[in-house]
């Protein structure tokens, strides 16, 4: 499963960055997708498991995606972070 998720993230990020050039500027040198993923069968997942997973993600560094748009309009002022 991890190889499939890695492949999906890689392919989808390349396609999005090729299709929307303004995203290339915004995400230059950054990761497009979050580092992890969650894979469980729907028969065993509980609300508590989902909440625990989300809570764990809150400790991860978050990039400002408030300017994130998927359209043909270039981002007028991309956020630059060091």
pLDDT digits (tens, 9 = 90+) for 15-49: 888 888 888 777 777 777 777 777 777 677 888 88
23 falls within a domain: yes
Instruction: Give the number of other CB atoms < 10 A from CB of residue 26.
Output: 21
75 falls within a domain: no
Taking the C-alpha atoms of residue 22 and residue 78, their distance in angstroms, rounded to an integer, is 9
Taking the C-alpha atoms of residue 29 and residue 16, their distance in angstroms, rounded to an integer, is 15
Higher per-residue confidence, 61 vs 29: 29
65 falls within a domain: no
pLDDT at 76 over 80: no
70 falls within a domain: no
**Percent above pLDDT 90 for the chain:** 0
Q: Are 71 and 81 in contact (CB under 8 A)?
A: no
H helices of 20-46, in order, are 21-26
Domain count, the chain: 1
Taking the C-alpha atoms of residue 37 and residue 68, their distance in angstroms, rounded to an integer, is 21
pTM of the model: 0.42
């Amino acid at each position: 499963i991890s190889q499939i998720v890695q492949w999906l993230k890689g392919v989808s990020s390349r396609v999005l960055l090729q299709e929307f050039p303004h995203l290339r500027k915004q995400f230059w040198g950054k990761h497009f997708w979050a580092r992890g993923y969650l894979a469980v069968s729907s028969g065993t997942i509980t609300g508590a498991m989902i909440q625990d997973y989300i809570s764990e993600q809150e400790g991860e560094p978050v990039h400002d995606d408030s300017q994130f748009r998927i359209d043909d309009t270039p981002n007028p002022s991309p956020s630059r972070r060091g």
